Amino acid sequence: MSEANIRVKIAELKEARPQVEFLQWLARGSLKQNLLRAIRLWVWLHSLYGDERDRVWLNDPFTYAEWRDAFFSPTHPKGEAIPNLHDPNCACAKTTAEWIFQPRTGVLEPEWRSTLQQHNAIFHDTLISGQPLDALLHSRTLAVTRRSLLTDLQILAEQGWLQRQNQHYQRVSTLPNFPTSGSSDSIYTKPNLDGLPPLNLDLNEIAQNLSQPIGGFRRFFLGVDYIISSTNQDRVEDWQHQLKHLWQQTPVPPVKLIYHSAKLGVSVNCIVYPICIYYMQRAVYLCTVGQDPEQKREGYNFRLDKIEQIVPLDWNNPDIPTSLRQRYPHHLPTPDDIEVEINQNAWGFDFYLPSCLLLLRFERNFHDRYIKDTFRHETFEPIPYQKLQQLIQKYAPKPHQQTLLTILKSRSPQDAYYKAWYREGDTNIGLRLRAWRPKGEVIMPWELRQEIAREVAEEFKNYH
């Protein structure tokens, strides 16, 4: 972006002060849950479009790593952990109050606090106040994980502040329309979709455009498969209400779940830390870390209608597993971490499962009709036939490499080939791959290929 365009953006952003109305616009949802993130997004914007005192010097397009090196001090950690207070002059050392109430913003703390409380009366949202709010204002705004900052970038792209090109980002020439103090685009007009969870960006735009009647008729309908029986829906709502109450506490407590495991056929006790609720594949799940029904992993997605009891615990409870206790308080995953794991790191909802390279072949005509120009996951991408041999030699177990290479030679180079990183053993991805049969073939991993081959043989017996 040219320096002239940057100067135009500086003038526009002078009105984008960290007032409650602008933070609510950035939050795009519950301000209570997303207040710290909204403030962090405001810091991002001034680092990208601010004046010479705020802006970091970057070429377009840029990567997260390039922004990090330009924004933070040279000693800022580059790993996954939350950075310690390593340098008082690093941007990660500044508190939320220092960012918001600096003289150049013109935001006064008493007025800001008062406006925040007015928000409660209008949006019926119990905002943090008193000591919790004091703690937030004295917390280090940018002392978060790398994954949280990567999610910030993705949100800015979704809101129109940046253009995304794979792992690169480009500043835009036209900023999105945002509310300013006293503007008619104020936050105090409640959105039509109040209460809905975040939607896919394109679906959200459709919903925003068509949510009101047109010509006297409702024109937008959203059909969602939901397999929970009516007899269990009250239970699901009860658990959602109880979890909402728990998430409003500081700190959020661990819980003991009594859970009926369909796989084990019995009810089991699991002590976990509840992270977030996720709708996926026809049901509602509670994403957690801690114990799983089989005592094999340190994470699990519990289907809400299968939970029989939720018992809050204290972090000092001796029954809490050592691995979970060691995460408290600084290494507990956030909903943002779950979102990154699901949407960016690997294909599959079961975020706790190991990732594995997946190679697929599609018959060309089927591909051109149903796969081409569709989005499955960030890691799902076409690959030239010529590169498959190299990937098989690198990732396939040696005892099976020659067999897979022989299979590959018997396949047509004119077919379509894809690779992805997926959650090994993820039920939903397994169902998707089986739905593509016989036009879609799993080349590797070897174990999954053999599993599907056995199923095909059994299925053949049923129909022959």
pLDDT of residue 275: 96
| Pick from 405, 228, 396, 408: nearest CA to 304 | 228
Say how far apart CA 186 and CA 19 lie, in whole Å: 11
Does some domain include residue 65? yes
pLDDT of residue 231: 63
Quote the DSSP letter at residue 352. T
Does some domain include residue 342? no
- 299 and 363 share one domain: no
Does some domain include residue 459? yes
- 46 and 150 share one domain: yes
- 390 and 323 share one domain: no
Does some domain include residue 318? yes
- 279 and 359 share one domain: no
- 398 and 452 share one domain: yes
Does some domain include residue 52? yes
pLDDT of residue 236: 83
The CATH number linked to 239 is 2.30.30
How confident is the chain (464 residues) per 10-residue block, as mean pLDDT? 50 69 78 81 88 81 91 88 88 91 84 75 51 82 85 86 87 78 39 47 60 70 70 77 89 96 94 93 91 94 94 95 93 89 89 95 96 91 95 94 96 97 93 95 96 95 91
pLDDT of residue 31: 72
- 43 and 148 share one domain: yes
Does some domain include residue 195? no
- 158 and 27 share one domain: yes
Domain boundary among 145, 171, 197: 171
- 102 and 154 share one domain: yes
**Count of domains in the chain?**
3
| Pick from 37, 83, 153, 76: nearest CA to 68 | 76
| Pick from 215, 191, 148: nearest CA to 29 | 191
Whole-model pTM? 0.57
**Consecutive H or E run containing 41:** helix 31-49
- 80 and 123 share one domain: yes
Per the structure, the complete domain to which residue 307 belongs is given by 230-333
- 282 and 143 share one domain: no
- 397 and 270 share one domain: no
Does some domain include residue 187? no
**Consecutive H or E run containing 33:** helix 31-49
Structure tokens at 50: 């601010």
- 446 and 398 share one domain: yes
CA distances 361 to 390, 406, 444, Å, are 16, 15, 10
Q: Are 115 and 14 in contact (CB under 8 A)?
A: no
Domain boundary among 171, 198, 222: 171
Does some domain include residue 278? yes
Which residue is listed with tokens 């459709």?
206
SS3 268: strand
